[in-house]
A and B are shown apart, each in its own frame.
Chain A
Amino acid sequence: MTTVLEDKIAGLKQQLFTMAGTVEEMIADSVKALVNKDPALAAQVTGPDEDRVNRLEIENEDAAINLVALYQPEASNLRAVVMIIKINNDLERLGDHAVNIAQAAQYLMGRPAVKPLVDIPKMADYAIGMLKDSLDAFTRNDAELARSVCGRDNIVDDLNDTVKQDLAKLMSTDAATIDRALKLMMVSLNLERIADLATNVAEDVIYIATGEVIKHHCKEEPQNPDH
């Protein structure tokens, strides 16, 4: 028999998945808008999508606070509610990063490209993949999948370093590219933050599923059994 509290937590998780779906789409769309120079897609991310995510964040937070106040969750239920509050916050931040990328896309699409976009779409693919997996892990309470996400953060960090070096070189040789190169650097930085937040979500999922705290150690441990 599930209790009223467990039903409420399941409902709240469902609301969080809806929000996560929108955030995932926003990130993919913002990068697509950048690559394809698509103003309508960028406007969708900075307008209605962001409004929706902001509204959902407040609704989810209210619902979670009410749950704590009215039902006094304990043990795994308590871990779930606290983590829902944190993941809710992370999702809103992820939405903000997508908006930053879409705004950079809006700036860049009317101007000549400074370099072909190779590493940035690659970073986006990795970051979105990490986010997808951490949210799937959340849906299924799957600590193993969540652990695999943690290990992938380094790849995105390395790509970010490469992009930064390439752009620094470009700016030092051609000062006219500085404004556009800085925008691209910002896009890269936002993608790196997206991967970080996906890692946070994965760490939270491990905590919900097992009660184990792996924060700040996640990268130090071999995550892939093949390693």
Chain B
Amino acid sequence: MTKTKISIDGLNLWFSDNHVLKDVSFAIPANAVTAIMGPSGCGKSTLLRTINRMNDLIPSARVTGDIQIDGESIFAGTTDVIDLRKRVGMVFQKPNPFPKSVIENVAFGPRIHRMGNHSEIRQRVERALRHANLWDEVKGRLHDNAFSLSGGQQQRLCTARALSVEPEIILLDEPASALDPHSTAKLEELIRQLKQDYTVVIVTHNMQQAARVSDWCAFLMLGELVEFGRTDRIFTNPRDKRTEDFLSGRFG
């Protein structure tokens, strides 16, 4: 049996009067890569950003329904949003390192969460950089400015930054869309490795990428969940005509 990490239940989301997510329900399995795909504007990034309550930052956003992580609602009054975002790390479309050194970028999270003394934090940084397949490339330039790294390296640095606070879930929002094919291949390899220790949710409109990296796939259209299932099944034998049309390039 697959263990559920994130359970999305009758989720609706509005930005003012705009009904963006419509009664979305599905269960995201632990230690697997789940891809959310769909045409532009279907609500996939909004859905992703709901999982660590990033949409709270938008005043007009209103949510009904529930999202539970390990059976506990992320909307409960007792939920500490800072703590939630420590458990649910995120990497964005464009690499967005802090204008600081490589080491400072990764040490930032552990430091503000007071996760150990100087040498412990240093160990944490190394572990996170190794985990993000970046250590060998940057170990000699830890004090260089993060912007001196290539785009692909910056994106893996942002992944290391997310990993440094030991989250349980990693959300990736189009993480490879600004990368060249070689850097994309490296990032995809990293994504496949990450699922051993984390639950990974990736938003992509590149369906080949979803096919290559994910174990499970959710297909969203106009804010509705059309289909959810194992990636190989969705890509070889989709049940819904709309999924078939999207995968065959008839729209989207």
* Chain A residues, CB < 8 A from B189: 4
Contact A71 B211 (CB under 8 A): yes
Q: Name 9 interchain pairs, CB-CB below 8 A, sorted by A.
A: A3-B185, A66-B232, A66-B235, A66-B236, A69-B211, A69-B232, A69-B236, A71-B211, A71-B212
Number of interface residues of B (CB under 8 A): 10
Which positions in B face A, CB cutoff 8 Å? 185, 189, 192, 208, 211-212, 231-232, 235-236
Partner of B231, one of A3, A65, A70: A70
Contacts of A172 in B (CB 8 A): none
Q: A-side binding surface: helix, strand, loop or mixed?
A: helix
Residues on the A chain within 8 Å of B235, using CB: 66, 69-70
Q: How far is the CA of A72 from the CA of B235 in the complex (A)?
A: 11
Say which size band chain A's interface belongs to: under 10
Bound complex: CA of A61 vs CA of B32, how far in Å? 25
Known contacts A4-B192, A65-B236; is-contact A70 B211 (Cβ 8 Å): yes
Residues of A near B212 (CB, < 8 A) are 4, 70-71
Q: How far is the CA of A66 from the CA of B233 in the complex (A)?
A: 8
- B-chain residues with CB within 8 Å of residue A3 when the two chains form the complex: 185
Cβ-closest chain B residue relative to A68:
B236
A70 touches B192 (CB 8 A): no
* Smallest Cβ-Cβ distance to A66: which chain B residue: B232
Name the residue of chain B whose CB is nearest to the CB of A3: B185
With both chains docked as a complex, state the minimum distance between the C-beta of B219 and any C-beta of chain A, in angstroms: 14
- By beta carbon, the residue of chain A nearest B208 is A72
List the A residue with the shortest CB-CB distance to B247: A69
The complex places the Cα of A3 from the Cα of B192 at a distance, in Å, of 12
**Minimum C-beta distance from B202 to chain A (A):** 15
Q: Which residues of the other chain, A, contact B236 by a CB distance below 8 angstroms?
A: 65-66, 69
Cβ distance A11 to chain B, nearest Cβ, rounded Å: 14
**In whole angstroms, how far apart are the Cα atoms of A4 and B185 in the complex?**
10
Q: Mark A122-158, 1 if CB is under 8 A from B, else 0.
A: 0000000000000000000000000000000000000
Report how far A71 CA is from B212 CA in the complex, Å.
6
State the Cβ distance, A71 to closest chain B Cβ, in Å.
6
Name 12 extra pairs, CB < 8 A, besides A4-B189, A4-B212.
A66-B235, A66-B236, A69-B211, A69-B232, A69-B235, A70-B211, A70-B212, A70-B231, A70-B232, A71-B211, A72-B208, A72-B211
